[in-house]
Amino acid sequence: MTGGVLKDQSFIALDLETTGLSATRDRIVEVAAVRFQLETGPRETYNQLVNPGVLMSDEVIAIHGITDSDVASAPSFAEIAKPLEAFLEGSILLAHNASFDLAFLACEMRRQNAPYPTQATIDTCRLARLLLPEAPNYRLTTLIESFQLANHGPAHRALPDALACAELFKLCVSRLPLGPDTSLENFWENYPSVCHQLVSPAVSPKHPLAHALTEAIRQQVDIRIGYHNARNERIERIITPLFLAGRGNYTYLEAFCHLRQENRQFRLERVFSFDKILEPSAVETVIL
């Protein structure tokens, strides 16, 4: 997916609803995906409730309105993994705050020993920050209201949010100098920060720790990394690694940071060591 112009590409806007914020501890309860091209409406949609196998908290239900009874007879993620994989194949993905959706998708696919999508994913939140500077904030609900985008249903349900994500992307593209006639190559070159691309576990990046980190991701163990921050200070963080991603020579580790209590990105070339935290008395150390 490196040639041609944007208007000729197939895009899929993806949105997930979940039982919480942690991709390793929580589960997906709804998936929606909307396939479209820039100059046409939605060509096909995929929308499925998912039985997470756990009870949801009242706080989570209050956000998306999906109850335990709603998903009681829904299929498990294991049952939808292959149909979802087939639907997503062959298109450029879009998601608002894409690292959240990709983390959940990667974790769920990994539990099923299924391949997760490694095509490019555009983060519409990051893209909006660059192309819609007048926005009061970059929450999807605010952008829908501020720019009078089509409202397809209640917020925090997967299909309306996926449709809104598609509309937001079309608006952002209209702000490009060449609009939908922008070449895909030019888009990647000028907006590299908006693109996520998961690195397949079978293809380790060229970094001394890549293979070991990939194995830690597969095992879903907590690790302690040594890291050079933006000020070139040596710091340590305990993290739960989620996936490796990037484009070209830029690769990063997406992980849940136990200090910040949120997902963070760590540039792979700045990681100089990690300890695999197996048990309190057993730590395996890898140092460059």
Q: 87-122, pLDDT tens digit by residue?
A: 999 999 999 999 999 999 999 998 888 887 888 999
pLDDT of 182 above 50: yes
How many DSSP H helices and E strands does the chain contain?
9, 12
> What domains does the chain contain, in order, with CATH numbers?
6-196 (3.30.420.10), 210-287 (2.30.30)
pLDDT-derived band of residue 215, with 50, 70 and 90 as boundaries?
confident
Q: Is 258 a catalytic residue?
A: no
Quickly list H helices, the chain: 58-64, 68-71, 77-88, 98-111, 124-131, 140-146, 158-174, 184-190, 210-219
Reported as a single tens digit per residue, the pLDDT across 233-273 is 999 999 999 988 877 667 889 999 999 988 899 998 999 99
Catalytic choice (156, 196, 211, 228): 156
pLDDT-derived band of residue 281, with 50, 70 and 90 as boundaries?
very low
The pLDDT value recorded for residue 250 is 75
